[in-house]
Structure 1
């Protein structure tokens, strides 16, 4: 695979994070990094976000857990993961040796679980930042997702902020009438960076059996189908808060990534495409460099935020 053209500076600063390029792999689509080592040079990725972690290991949902759609896929994995302790012991040594920033996505079902998880991860050497998944149900509040209520979101972010000094990314849900109050609450509570969007609730039907295609009935839609929604929500958040934004949702190639960057996102995450092209993150970074180089940009920083509305 050809190297990124040296004449274009792809380095970016995203809040406290300094990345070699703005392309990050999205949580849940890149395992714990090592699984993709045979397919891509992991040292050429801006950062790796690992599969979401909980305090204790989780088995996830029964299969079938993934179904392909015409423009992406629906997953109902159920947040299966090895747990924080096993991650630190078994997965982190490989990641630490890469030299690529490691961002750990994590979640809980109570504010206390979020705090405890962040506290445990804060002691793991080599983590560059934490990404908080707030799309999980709050079991103490009747199952309402933390990320759909500004008050709940603020409490969980405040708790996590107390538990760690690591850079804190809050991953916002698209499943709200207006994402801006959630973004404002996250930043006010101590988030350094916002990332969005998470998946959109969806379902699929097996017509031959006339039953759900997923054992869980519903799941999260990702892939190219959601990019227009993701762009709109990223744009709204960029106008609402003075905080760095990482955009994601349906990015399939360099042009998709560049759309988010021109809006003002400081970086992007690529997800579903990793299942189709495991080397996609490197390929997209190369494509960004080629696009910018062909148009005379010295670096990606000159391009970020160049989107304009009106005459």
Structure 2
């Protein structure tokens, strides 16, 4: 590892170490940017954290400003081993599955208070930015310089704190490979930009989406007269339908009203799924909704579903089959 003097930026009066830093947030876009000014990383699916390393303690702060140090003991312990006097690391706490992919459900189980199949010491903090180092506020520096310093601080580490690797690749190709491997998406960062709080175009996120067909088994009315609040969806498991969540986006108000009228015509008092929802209107499962979504939750529900269209089951529409 390089010594402290070799990794520090040019000498300057000591900067005040902030008690909390509002995080830089990535803007969602449809396609990766192009050009040499952009660096790419994997998009981790976990909890965004800032690890504050101070002379006599470590504090782990959530994106919302809560102190969760006691919930991440392995990360706090690893932070004390870093050869720094003071630092703020920005990154994501994750639990990795057998394929090395971050799994939010596994992370939630590891953090749960009840006995779980995943222990807190399985949680890994992938650091992707360095905001403060040994008396110097680095947020004003360009991303490429902050990255260089971060790599030196975390050089060769393989414990509970690790470097989130940059990937030297074309953005479109990296996204294709990431999606093919079941990764949530990728992040693009402009190499010349400082670290600024809030959602900006300095950082971009491009997510992998899935699209499948699900049986419509009912809806929940909207508070808006004549509109629909949520479409209730089901997948097939064996010879029965299983509820997989509700979808409340993807349509205009006019489309929502029309869809509610169509579903009202096939309403039934005998739900096709084992589900009780207050104010829900159940219908015969003769229509299939095309839905775009990010992934599956740990409870077997669709994550971030968005409605794309609807067809009749008779129209050779294959309902998603749960494994």
What TM-score, normalized by structure 1, do the two folds share? 0.27
Higher strand share: 2
Higher helix share: 1
Q: Which has the higher contact order (CA 8 A, sep 6+)?
A: 1
Larger Rg computed on CA atoms? 2
What TM-score, normalized by structure 2, do the two folds share? 0.26
